[in-house]
Amino acid sequence: MKVFKLIFKNMFRHKLRTALTIMGISIAVMAFALLRTVIGAWYVGIEATAPDRLITRNSVSFIFPLPVAYRARIASIPGVSNVSYANWFQGVYIDERNFFPRMAVDVETFFDLYPELLLPAEQKEDFKKQRNACIVGAKTAKKFNLKIGDAMTVDGDIYPGRYTFIVRGVYTGRDRATDETQMFFHWAYLDEQLKRDMPIRAGYVGWYVVLIADPAQTAAVSAGIDEIFRNSPSETKTETEKAFTQGFISMSSTIILAIQFISYIIVGIILLVLANTMVMTARERIMEYAVLKTLGFRTLHIAGLITGESLLIAVIGGAIGLAITFPITAGIGEQLSNIFPVFLVETSTMATAMSFAIMVGLIASIVPLYRAMTTSIVDGLRHAG
Amino acid sequence: MEPIIAIRDLSKSYYRESLEIPVLQNISMDIARGEFLALMGPSGSGKTTLLNLIAGIDRPDAGSILVNGTDVPTLNESELAEWRAQNVGFVFQFYNLLPVLTAFENVELPLLLTPLTKKQRREHVEAALGVVGLGDRMNHTPKQLSGGQEQRVAIARAIVTDPTIIVADEPTGDLDKRSAEEILALLERLNSAFEKTIVMVTHDPRAADRAHVQRHLEKGELL
């Protein structure tokens, strides 16, 4: 018989209590992992950014456009190897709830600047050839059962009017962090409509995407771009794609902070659940610890039994919690795909959740350990009778 | 006969809040090797405290206890634990078996602290359970045993390491007459056949009559 066997047998002495404790820890770990996944989903855009891409936007605000004529001047800046541009189109596809990013892009350059968007060459060519063609991400195609050749009618809101697009390609993500929900169509197609219906809004882009040859030159190139448009009607602000994305996320920082806070409260709840069980357990076994000491077992052996049991409960609870996190995350991710295009449990989330479970297992054993270590054999034996 | 236990000027008090309660006062006695001693006395006379001090699970305020040449109170906690494991077998009134373990596993417990192999441990445990007549109950848990059988498992646990002395605190106190008789017969046999030194605390004069020597304590003093 080994000590581990005794720990295991002790753990199931009160099957219902242990089962409820493990269940409590499992649910708490699952909730913790889920909340951390939500936070991760918020930040996944940063993970998807490239160090050699800069974003140039209107210095006043992202919602103010920039003239399309800036493209050639940006391209002339030393260190710039390619320039593309896009407009946030938005619109409503079938129903307002069907949110996914819809953008008008420069078809000639856009996919060259985003190599993580994998699109077969023939689909890319078909996209370029047809003025009202569009490309959709694999997740959106799957969700709305869109196939190549299908028509997509989108009612514009930022750009009023009814737009009909033909799906000419479906892209997939190269990396797990790549958003596969977006839809891209010709900027020129949008501009044509604007020239006809709202000429004052034609000839503008939402932002420029600037590819630089050397990421080490980010500061110099950014300053160079902004410098040439200083004192112009539309001054620019150029920053790394990462900083640009972080700017968006910072708008939700209070919500993220609240979620983080709740996730740590959950860790506290796990601690209380397990600590309660361990305190009850130790109180019931004071006599047994005294008997073991009488037989020659040392304080360290007793500490091993208590901490071992606490850790085992925490680890089993943590493992079950993580196991149930995956199907639950998949289900929630499916429901929230319009808000969080990438909703995956990160390895770091699993490691953090498991680390917290282990930490809780250790902390929960402190009080019972102290009691078992400071109770004399004589007092412990009296406890029995 | 050479004493295996030599107690000199032993005193022990307990403290309740700031109040000192003397339990043992200037006790001196010898217990010979191979002796079967019964310690008797009314409740609160200090007999269990004396037993605990002899067994090294409590410390005196003054005096010395030499057991087989070792001055027990001078040992530190770690040395004391090791000394108990090697020299003392305990039998408690309420058996104090671990309920989640089988009879075999309960008896095996003290051997986990020894360098014996699994096979050697099994041999020792089987031998000890054979001595107490429970060779066929090895895989039974305490719940599946009667009170007398539980106490016999506790005795097997006490002798499995072949200790120098066996201390028994009211070993028949929780048993019916027939089971008590069996336990006392077993203790007698351990003393006579295996020459174990036994110190037994008891209230029961019939149990005490089975011992070779009876010593009486009253108000912490040896009569």
Question: Domain with B139 in it: what CATH number?
Answer: 3.40.50.300
- Residue B214 forms contact with A (CB below 8 Å): no
Instruction: Please say whether the beta carbons of A14 and A276 come within 8 A.
Output: no
Tokens encoding A228: 């040439």
Position B5 scores a pLDDT of 93
What is the 8-class DSSP label of residue A333?
A: H
Domain count, chain B: 1
CA distance B62 to B78: 21
Partner-chain contact B77 A299, CB within 8 Å? yes
- By Cβ distance, the residue of B57, B82, B85 closest to A377 is B57
Residue A35 corresponds to which amino acid? L
Mean pLDDT along residues A250-265: 86
* Cβ-based burial of A365 (10 A; exposed 0-12, middle 13-18, buried ≥19): buried
Tokens encoding B148: 């007398």
Kindly report, residue by residue over A88-105, the tens digit of the pLDDT. 999 999 988 888 999 999
Nearest CA to B194 among B158, B170, B150? B158
Question: Residue B169 — φ and ψ, nearest 5°?
Answer: -105, 105
- By Cβ distance, the residue of B52, B84, B105 closest to A1 is B105
For the four alpha carbons of B140, B145, B150 and B156, in that order, the dihedral sign comes to negative
pLDDT > 70 fraction of chain B, expressed in percent and rounded:
100
Residue B126, domain member (yes or no)? yes
Residue B28, domain member (yes or no)? no
Partner-chain contact A297 B113, CB within 8 Å? yes
- Residue B52 forms contact with A (CB below 8 Å): yes
CA distance A349 to chain B (A): 37
For the four alpha carbons of A263, A264, A266 and A267, in that order, the dihedral sign comes to positive
What's the length of chain B? 223
Mean pLDDT along residues A8-22: 90
Residue B82, domain member (yes or no)? yes
Position A385 scores a pLDDT of 37
- Residue A376 forms contact with B (CB below 8 Å): yes
**Which residues in chain A are contacts of B113 at CB distance < 8 A?**
295-297
Partner-chain contact A9 B101, CB within 8 Å? yes
CA distance B103 to chain A (A): 12
Instruction: Please say whether the beta carbons of B200 and B54 come within 8 A.
Output: no
Residue B49, domain member (yes or no)? yes
Tell me the average pLDDT of chain A.
90
Position A294 scores a pLDDT of 92
DSSP A238-277: EEEHHHHHHHHHHTTHHHHHHHHHHHHHHHHHHHHHHHHH
Cβ within 8 Å of B, A 284-343: 287-288, 291-299
Residue B40, domain member (yes or no)? yes
Half-sphere exposure of A117 (CA within 13 A, CB side): 23
Q: Mutate which of B53, B102, B111, B113 to disrupt the A interface (most A C-beta within 10 Å)? A: B113
Q: Which domain holds residue B178?
A: 33-60+70-222
Within 8 A by CB and 6+ apart from B95, the residues are: B142, B147, B150, B151, B153, B154, B174
Partner-chain contact A295 B84, CB within 8 Å? yes
Position B1 scores a pLDDT of 62
Partner-chain contact A9 B108, CB within 8 Å? no
* Cβ-based burial of A129 (10 A; exposed 0-12, middle 13-18, buried ≥19): exposed
Residue B19, domain member (yes or no)? no
Mean pLDDT along residues B192-217: 90
What is the 8-class DSSP label of residue A144?
A: T
What's the length of chain A? 385
